[in-house]
Amino acid sequence: MQQCSNLFPNKEAFIIFALYIILFVFQGVFVTASKTENGGYDYNTTLVVFLSELLKLCASAFLYTYRRDNKPHIFRAIAINYKLLLLYFIPSLLYCFYNNLAFINLSHYDPTSYYILLQFRVVLTALLFQFLFKRKLAFMQWISLGILTVGCMIKNFDAASIQSKGDSDLWSQLFNIYFVSINFQNFCSCLAGTYNEYLLKTKGSNVDMFLQNVFMYLDSVICNFFILMFKGELGTIFDDFGSLADTFVVLITVNSAVVGIVTSFFLKNLNSILKTYASALELVITAVVCYILFNIVITAFTVISICLVSIAVAMYFKNPVSNVNMNLADGKDKEPLIEVTTNN
């Protein structure tokens, strides 16, 4: 019971935790189902990300306006908190990279391999927490992270051996450009998540969460607009709209928008490290669902890596990191308190 209270302060927090996992499993399935026979996409993935961010912005603006009570009008609120709006460009740009890389990496990995490789972000998140918040993790927490990393590496060799199809040069298959790409995606996810949590709980602690979402997604729309311009795809936007009518593309866009809103609740009520462990739990569900829907074989390597990930998650649940909200005093930020709790 003590561990549960450290992980989930209330029933709503557990619901957010479970919903986060389910929605991300759906996202992986929808993206996989939208792929062509050769593993690519017949729609503009950058445009899908842009429209998803635009939908998040509209939803957040509506929710803020609907429940703002005596709070200022949304445009006045943006003007008052313009500095916070500028700060949100950091996680917005990182999430922009992350979302666009997700399509690229999922085109070269099956969903189970993709999600297992993403679990390297657990270690990166822990390192960022220690560096940014000057708090050390407990020994058992690092053991848990070590087991999780081993599980990721086992699956990575499995994915490399499948892609090599008998090629003796396994190392060239393992350490290729897509391995670099997925680890850069991990870095973007970790830094964006921890910094987003920092803004939610410190500089924006007195700002309505839906208004903060407006800041995040307004910045994200701007960032994705420049990505479209950089790729030279602005002129073909209207031509690409026809391909977006596909059912799975619509589901990807809507599900991604819902995931964004749920993630803000997750970071506000829980913490970034638990979010990465929640992502690890997606592996078990994703492997089963993809085996049923897409006949993607569950190999022995996959079973071993899933078992190791499950053990690591169970160990973490007994030794969780409780993230305590920061307080503001005299308008100055106090250092975030990351309280490490252990099971005695």
The residues spanned by each domain of the chain are 2-340
**All residues at 6 or more sequence positions from 166 whose CB lies less than 8 Å from its CB, including other chains:** none
Report which of 255, 261, 313, 304 is spatially closest to residue 282, judged by C-alpha positions.
313
Q: For residue 254, what pLDDT is reported?
A: 92
Residue 328's pLDDT band, with cuts at 50, 70 and 90, is: very low
Q: How much is the CA Rg of the chain, to the nearest whole Å? A: 20
Q: For residue 4, what pLDDT is reported?
A: 58
Assigned token pair, 78: 């943006």
Answer whether residue 143 shows pLDDT above 50: yes
Mean pLDDT, to the nearest integer, of 107-127? 73
Residue 340's pLDDT band, with cuts at 50, 70 and 90, is: very low
Answer whether residue 217 shows pLDDT above 80: yes
Distance of alpha carbon 60 from alpha carbon 27, whole angstroms: 20
Report which of 267, 268, 285, 284 is spatially closest to residue 276, judged by C-alpha positions.
267
> Buried (b) or exposed (e) across 39-59, using 16+ Cβ within 10 A?
eebebbbbbbbbbbbbbbbeb
CB 277 within 8 A of CB 244: no
Judge if pTM exceeds 0.95: no
Mean pLDDT, to the nearest integer, of 307-316? 84
Mean pLDDT, to the nearest integer, of 233-239? 72
